[in-house]
Amino acid sequence: MKFFKLATNWQSLNLENRYLKVIILFLFTCLILLCIMNFNKEVIVTLVPPNLSHDVTVKKTTASKTYLSSWALYFADLIGNVSPGNVTFIEQAISPMLAPEIYQLVIDVLLMQTQQIQDDNVTLSFQPRQIETEENSDKIFVTGYSFISGLAGKVQRELRTYEFIIQINQYAPTLIWMDTYEGQPKLNSKVKG
């Protein structure tokens, strides 16, 4: 009788051992899959910048429209507020964020604008009023009032729009295209940003 009990216990132990081996194999497979998924997962950075009221998402090559709009506002604010004393600072601030394709063009235009500002001894200022995005393209429009003031104190005001296309490369914003013109944004479809 004890032999029968031993045989039963031995069979149940062998059965339990087989089940545990299958479970260990399953857990090992899950561990390998989780490791692979973890190494292939794209890092997502969530930020709450001081000038934004809610979270923005930045991935390795993309970002939320709100994040890109805040960078467009930053660029418009920098480029639109030029004086003889801050031109070098503006050049240093935007240079690292310019795409190689437009780098020389933007720097040349900025230097030409600088020379004209210094020759005329005027100051440019920009007060943004709205940011819009174009749904079917990556364009972001920053529209506001541009003021040109000289030594005589005369101030000229005009409605000005800055157009930007900003891409994310390695989590950093890169300005790949820009334009500025007088008047309202030239939109194909209007979506407030």
Q: At residue 103, does pLDDT exceed 60?
A: yes
Q: At residue 1, does pLDDT exceed 60?
A: no
Q: What are the tens digits of pLDDT across the range 127-176?
A: 999 999 988 888 999 999 999 887 777 888 999 999 999 999 988 899 99
Tell whether 150 and 67 lie within a shared domain. Answer: yes
Tell whether 104 and 73 lie within a shared domain. Answer: yes
Q: pTM of the predicted model, to two decimals? A: 0.72
What is the pLDDT at residue 166?
Answer: 94
Q: Which of 59, 189, 184 is nearest to 130 (CA)?
A: 184
What is the pLDDT at residue 48?
Answer: 58
Tell whether 36 and 83 lie within a shared domain. Answer: no
Q: At residue 191, does pLDDT exceed 50?
A: no
Tell whether 37 and 56 lie within a shared domain. Answer: no
Strand partners, 168: 173
- The CATH number given to whatever domain includes residue 97 is 3.10.450.230
88 — pLDDT class (breaks 50, 70, 90): confident
Tell whether 18 and 71 lie within a shared domain. Answer: no
Tell whether 89 and 12 lie within a shared domain. Answer: no
Tell whether 69 and 30 lie within a shared domain. Answer: no
Q: Between residues 93 and 57, which one has the greater pLDDT?
A: 93
Q: By the 8 A CB rule, do 69 and 164 touch?
A: no
Tell whether 113 and 91 lie within a shared domain. Answer: yes
Tell whether 9 and 75 lie within a shared domain. Answer: no
What is the pLDDT at residue 193?
Answer: 47
Tell whether 50 and 145 lie within a shared domain. Answer: yes
Tell whether 77 and 165 lie within a shared domain. Answer: yes
Tell whether 25 and 104 lie within a shared domain. Answer: no
End-to-end CA distance of the chain: 83
Domain span at residue 9 reads 1-41
Indicate the pairing of strand 45-47 with strand 191-192.
unpaired
What is the pLDDT at residue 51?
Answer: 65
- DSSP track, the chain: -HHHHHHHHHHHHHHHHHHHHHHHHHHHHHHHHHHHHHHHPPP-EEE--TT-SS-EEE-SS-B-HHHHHHHHHHHHHHHHS--TTTHHHHHHHHGGGB-HHHHHHHHHHHHHHHHHHHHHT-EEEEEEEEEEE-TTS-EEEEEEEEEEE-TT--EEEEEEEEEEEEEEETTEEEEEEEEEEESS---SS-EE-
Q: By the 8 A CB rule, do 102 and 177 touch?
A: yes
Q: What are the tens digits of pLDDT across the range 18-77?
A: 999 999 999 999 999 999 988 888 777 666 555 667 777 888 888 888 889 889 999 999
